[in-house]
Copies of this chain bind each other. A is one copy, B any other.
Amino acid sequence: MRIGELAKRSNCDVETVRFYERGGLLDKPAREANGYRCYSEAHLEQLNFIRHCRSLGIGLSEARVLRCFQANPELACDEVNQLVDRQIARIHQQIESLRLLEQQLRTLRGACDVNRSVGECGIMRSLAEGGRSEDSSRGQRFEKTEDR
C-alpha cells in the first residue's frame, strides 16, 4: 500500500509517517518504480505499535527501545515492565503538579469575582506580587499541543 493508505489505516498523518521513517522508528519501505513508498502489513503493525505507545504518552526514544525488544522476543521483559512503571510514575507526578496548579489558579481566580478595572483587579495584583513560594519557582513546565 502507499503512504496515504497506511496513514489512513493507522489514523495518523502522512507527514508523521515520513517523520517516523526519518527518525528510524519505522522500517524503510520498498519503492515503486516512480519512487513512491510501498508498505506491507508489517509496516502497518509497526506504525500501530508506535501510535499506541504515543497515545500512552511514551516518548519516541522509548518507543524505539520497545521496538528493539520486539525484534528480540527471547530477551527478558523486566525492562519493559520497568519502562511502563517509569511512565506511570511520570504521569502520576504530572497529575499531582497539575492538581496543585489548578488549586493555585482557583485561588487566584477567587481574588476577583466581579468585573472591575484592571488596576483594582485582585488577579492582577496577585500576579504582580514577587515569586514568594519556592516551589513555584522550580515548578514544572508543561506544554500541550492542541488536537486539530
Contacts and interface: CB of A to CB of B under 8 A. Distances in A.
Interface residues of A, number: 69
The oligomer's copy count stands at 2
A91 B105 contact: yes
A72 B118 contact: yes
Contacts of A137: 11, 51, 55
Contact of A48 (B84, B92, B131): B131
A118 B52 contact: no
A115 interface: yes
A128 B133 CA distance: 45
A40 interface: no
B91 A98 contact: yes
